Amino acid sequence: MGLAWTGLGIGNFFANDLETALRHIKKGIKIQKEAGIPYYLSFHYFALGMVYLELKNLRHSEDSFKHALELSQKYNEKWIEGTSRIYLGATIAQNAKSKFEKAGESINEGIKILDDRKIKPWSSIGYYNLGMLQADCGQLEEALGNLKKAEKMFKEMGMDYWTTRAQETLERL
């Protein structure tokens, strides 16, 4: 039941109804915790971090991704570890540009975990985030390479939402 509520929250996230997404994901976390089921609790915190990041609540976003990372490592939920590392890096970068290296390392570690498991939808999002980080730090050539790679992967997989985001970003650069 907890995963269903968080899934509903993610649907609201992609429909850009962030307050409803936040409410549903928090309900999913509460149900999962009350049931005493640690399995996939990391996913709930990952989803929560995504919403907080979109709301520009960077402190809560970073805390959520760190918690997701800890839980995913504890319960060997590798794909969530990879995605959490990517988004933790993106959050760190938005919090402090001076931590570019740390943010890049986190994103690259996440991409490696996902690439090793051939989880292309999430690793492509990692390349997108890495490109965004590089663009923000003035590494335009590297940024364009990663953003174009992400765009190509998105197109191949029919990830229209992300293809559009990548194209808009490339046009701005």
> What pLDDT tens digit does each residue of the chain (173 aa) get?
999 999 999 999 999 999 999 999 999 999 999 999 998 999 999 999 999 999 999 999 999 999 999 999 999 999 999 999 999 999 998 887 678 889 999 999 999 999 999 999 999 999 999 999 999 889 999 999 999 999 999 999 999 999 999 999 999 99
Tokens 């980080």: give the residue: 133
| Amino acid 96: pLDDT | 76
pLDDT at 28: 98
Residue 131 is predicted with a pLDDT of 96
Q: Inter-axis angle of helices 78-95 and 41-54, to 10 degrees?
A: 30
Phi, psi (rounded to 5 degrees) for 87: -75, -30
Matching residue, tokens 């490592």: 73
Instruction: Give the pLDDT of residue 95.
Output: 82
pTM: 0.91
Instruction: Tell me the residue ranges of DSSP E strands in the chain.
Output: none
Query: What was the pLDDT predicted at 97?
Result: 67
**20-42 burial, b if ≥16 CB within 10 A, otherwise e?**
bbbbbbbbbbebbeeeeeeebbb
90 close to 53: Cβ distance less than 8 angstroms: yes
